């Protein structure tokens, strides 16, 4: 019964991901603070990636607990500056989809990933997410409020993931629930990646 319920939830999760992913990067340039806050929340790909980083951080000890979110935010800002500067980077959407696969896999098999690998994955894929934000932000200095908005929203999503993971530790259910969540995130990434390859552009 529990397995059927989880399968049903996963199916609903995947079906919701398709339109959300498609609408995440519409190309509309808007510079308001509120638009920046809402942008990571409006695309399931961004939202899941940022929560996944928080979950990974919450499962980690020592410096990684805050090092992963900080490395994501810093690399995302660099990516946003590249995108806002009009520098074209190929395969952005594919990179974002792959980030879900990578973060989800890391949640499932975290014990096999060393700290430098986790930091490298986090920062590397954050560049793709940041570029997507920055390309929509544009190079106008008035877009600073938009940038502050999406940085704050990203940090809050990371914190949300850390909080969830911490609560799981307290309830003694961290391992199974985090692995299930990682599997779902990786599945969303795989579906998004498949759609991008089958229906390019």
pLDDT at position 23 is 37
Confidence category of residue 73, pLDDT binned at 50, 70, 90: very high
Please state, in angstroms and rounded to a whole number, the distance separating the CA atoms of residues 66 and 152. Answer: 15
Lowest pLDDT segment from 3-7, 37-41, 155-159: 3-7
Q: Which residue has the higher pLDDT, 147 or 139?
A: 147
pLDDT digits (tens, 9 = 90+) for 157-196: 999 998 888 777 666 666 677 888 899 999 999 999 999 8
Lowest pLDDT segment from 40-44, 77-81, 118-122: 40-44
Q: Are the C-beta atoms of 55 and 118 separated by less than 8 Å?
A: no
Please state, in angstroms and rounded to a whole number, the distance separating the CA atoms of residues 110 and 60. Answer: 9
Residue 130 pLDDT > 90, yes or no?
yes
pLDDT at position 158 is 93
Burial class (CB in 10 A: 0-12, 13-18, 19+), 89: middle
Residue 112 pLDDT > 80, yes or no?
no
Lowest pLDDT segment from 59-68, 98-107, 169-178: 169-178
Mean pLDDT of 37-48: 87
Q: Which two tokens stand for residue 109?
A: 């098999």
Q: Is the pTM of this model over 0.85?
A: no
Lowest pLDDT segment from 37-46, 144-153, 164-173: 164-173
Residue 26 pLDDT > 70, yes or no?
no
User: Which run of H or of E encompasses 182?
Assistant: helix 174-198
């Amino acid at each position: 019964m529990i397995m059927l319920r989880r399968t049903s939830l996963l199916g609903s999760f995947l079906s919701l991901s398709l339109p959300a992913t498609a609408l995440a990067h519409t190309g509309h340039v808007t510079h308001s603070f509120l638009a920046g806050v809402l942008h990571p929340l409006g695309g399931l790909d961004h939202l899941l990636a940022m929560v996944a980083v928080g979950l990974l951080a919450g499962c980690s000890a020592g410096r990684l607990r805050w090092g992963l979110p900080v490395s994501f935010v810093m690399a995302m800002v660099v990516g946003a500056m590249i995108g806002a500067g009009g520098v074209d980077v190929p395969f952005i959407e594919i990179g974002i989809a792959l980030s879900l696969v990578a973060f989800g896999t890391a949640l499932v098999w975290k014990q096999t990933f060393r700290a430098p690998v986790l930091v490298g994955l986090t920062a590397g894929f954050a560049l793709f997410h940041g570029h997507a934000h920055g390309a929509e932000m544009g190079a106008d200095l008035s877009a600073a409020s938009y940038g502050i908005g999406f940085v704050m929203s990203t940090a809050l999503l990371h914190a949300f993931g850390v909080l969830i993971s911490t609560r799981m530790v307290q309830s003694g259910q961290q391992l199974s629930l985090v692995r299930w969540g990682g599997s779902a995130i990786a599945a969303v990434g795989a579906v998004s990646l498949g759609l991008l390859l089958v229906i390019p552009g």
